[in-house]
Structure 1
């Protein structure tokens, strides 16, 4: 019984660290056994007492796997039975009282104190049922099981009925109600936060969500159109179209950007667009202005000729280096300045 005492001390230490319910749990029980079969075993063995310890892992509030060790002694025949097993546990409900069923299989051993009687390991297992009583953070349980052990020392497939009472820490059922409710509340808050983050936002509160708003910084209270811009406000859309040095041809990989603009204009049929070309300040301002005009016109031509936007709704204009958005003294700034934008008006 010293082993059982040491295990109970370990349970107390485990409970101190288990501040919240975890999938893992430990348990221990006292058991009383009486022989069932065969007849010679039933007639001679008498009753037995012993203990068991277990460790479990909860897959959910119904199913769990348990690793167990049971040991009990039949004094009348000086035989001690032990079983190391792996079992499956099913709990039929949740709440204060939880009925359960358990099936376990493993390696059993019958040890005899008498001289000349062979002790050997053999296949063994048990099947049983009972109920758990959840007193957070401890669960008490009581149940019955039928133990089976294979042929050993002349006992053909011996079996016994075992009654047991024990405890589990931390509890499996409701567990710590306060902790569970806190965990549930935290989960709900997290879900709400995720839902809010995923929901379409309207940063300027103009009634048009950001994913559709072409003017996301409209002044408060200003009446806006279907794409979020005020009457005299132009929506500026950057088009990611890059050109080789000194070239004005739109390469195929950039046409998807122009197609997005065309789809928007087809949806909003009263809009017009100015395709504005810009450069950095490297080289002559006059040459840059001419180059930006040709590039803007190239994009406008794709918009009209390939995607069917009426030419009267499309205007191309080159601004050269006159409207920088970045620092022309850095490579990063100059790259930002070499851009094409679509300025949309109703």
Structure 2
């Protein structure tokens, strides 16, 4: 009977995953689960024997059925990769005993236990898809005990029921199978009262199916938004103008989480700004740093200042811009440009912005052409470096562009989500290498033009709290650079 209930519940949960994609997008962080497995109880043999002896019966044989099966249905919210809160309903099965007595008779007892629980769960990621966890919580359960006597044994009160609140704890392992589904193995112990004054433990060893409501519909990334490379060309500098016309420039750069590094794709944008500042030496620039709202205000203010200062230092170091012309100002989380309640909004708010004064054009002075960097982003399945067929067309356009422009080079940057450092480095480089192999085998691109780099999980775009965020971090960025 319980096996049928577990099977039916798992079927309903799977159909919910198919039928509720809209809810999944709106309930990021929520999950549902159902599972079942073996249960084992501790029958209080000594106490039962003592009670019968006090009533004048000698126990000559004691048989206990301490094993059964149970099931549970639960729902929870995962706040981040290390903490979740969960509540649910459980039924731990039926346990019984038969005590044969002298004078000749038998006393039989049966215990049923079910109830509701709430658990605090701590998780420790050990791979891209797997996490160890420990839980501690409380349960409010109803214990029903039924007694029957035969022969010389007379049972005056055959039925007892009692509702109590007690503690529970457990450990386990959870593995994410894909965007929505995961498997959980758990061993849990429920402290219980059998309704007639005996305390004991019931253990549940379960396998559960977990369905995550978050993810499933994130916005297209750079790979889907990028136009065909062949259609793009370096920016053409304006012709010399009269002294009455002005040139202006600006800069927008987004950052990864808790990071102030100027990455390769953003270095190209910095070159555009440097070209303007070199061409118009009378202009000054204020570099503004910003963050999302994750973390304390003080930490975010410090991080935003570090981001702005990193841009200033880069311009001075790499392009010899006079430091006196540059000012770094950090605004922390006080000036968001997007909604911090969404992953995409947080990404937009982790940024620096340059406010540059406009320069009056001097006749005969022509700004150097800005370089153009084309970027493409691919996503991968968990622990996999296989290129999905949906990316073939874009990769082909990259390959054709490199074929027709032999002076260009490309950097392939591999990334992962929250795997261990050794595994993350290996997987990220393998992903970048698989892209390089594709370009070499399909378009005969010289390997010397392809720079393969693996960054592991050190350059995250999102917080890894949900399956969709982890998917965003499993990626390869292809960056095509123009020669200086």
Compute the TM-score of the two structures, normalised by the length of structure 1: 0.50
Structure 1 pair 141–181 and aligned structure 2 pair: CA distance change class (3 A):
farther
Identify which of 158, 162, 186 aligns with 1:116: 158
Identify which of 211, 218, 236 aligns with 2:360: 218
1:128-167 paired onto structure 2 within 5 Å: 128-136=170-178, 137-150=180-193, 152-167=194-209
**2:136 — aligned with what?**
103
Identify which of 28, 36, 40 aligns with 1:30: 36
- Aligned 8 A contact 2:134 2:172 in 1: yes
Could you say what secondary structure the match of 1:44 adopts? strand
Q: Deviations over 1:73-92 (max 9, x none)?
A: 22534322113111011112
C-alpha separation in 1, matches of 2:219 and 2:158: 57
Structure 1 pair 21–135 and aligned structure 2 pair: CA distance change class (3 A):
farther
- Aligned 8 A contact 1:148 1:157 in 2: yes
C-alpha separation in 2, matches of 1:214 and 1:50: 67
**1:209 — aligned with what?**
284
C-alpha separation in 2, matches of 1:123 and 1:144: 20
C-alpha separation in 2, matches of 1:189 and 1:47: 61
* Structure number with larger C-alpha Rg: 1
**2:88 — aligned with what?**
68
- Aligned 8 A contact 2:146 2:160 in 1: no
**1:11 — aligned with what?**
13
How many residues are aligned here? 213
Residue 108 of structure 1, CA deviation:
1.2
Structure 1 pair 69–218 and aligned structure 2 pair: CA distance change class (3 A):
same
1:1-346 paired onto structure 2 within 5 Å: 1=2, 4-16=6-18, 17=21, 18=24, 22-36=28-42, 38-40=44-46, 44-76=64-96, 77-95=109-127, 96-114=129-147, 116-136=158-178, 137-150=180-193, 152-170=194-212, 191=255, 206-207=280-281, 208-209=283-284, 216-219=358-361
**1:293 — aligned with what?**
none
Question: What is the alpha-carbon root mean square deviation over aligned residues?
Answer: 4.3
C-alpha separation in 2, matches of 1:98 and 1:214: 47
Structure 1 pair 221–55 and aligned structure 2 pair: CA distance change class (3 A):
farther
Q: Deviations over 1:233-282 (max 9, x none)?
A: xxxxxxxxxxxxxxxxxxxxxxxxxxxxxxxxxxxxxxxxxxxxxxxxxx
Structure 1 pair 144–219 and aligned structure 2 pair: CA distance change class (3 A):
same
Q: Deviations over 1:188-236 (max 9, x none)?
A: 98548xx99xx9x79896241366899835115667xxxxxxxxxxxxx
List runs of 5+ in structure 2 lacking aligned partners: 49-61, 97-108, 148-156, 226-251, 257-261, 287-324, 326-354, 366-484
**2:464 — aligned with what?**
none
Structure 1 pair 58–120 and aligned structure 2 pair: CA distance change class (3 A):
same
Q: Deviations over 1:94-121 (max 9, x none)?
A: 4233211111202111123557321110
Structure 1 pair 189–43 and aligned structure 2 pair: CA distance change class (3 A):
farther
Larger RCO (CA within 8 A; separation ≥ 6): 2
- Aligned 8 A contact 1:206 1:222 in 2: no
Residue 13 of structure 1, CA deviation:
3.8
- Aligned 8 A contact 2:166 2:191 in 1: yes
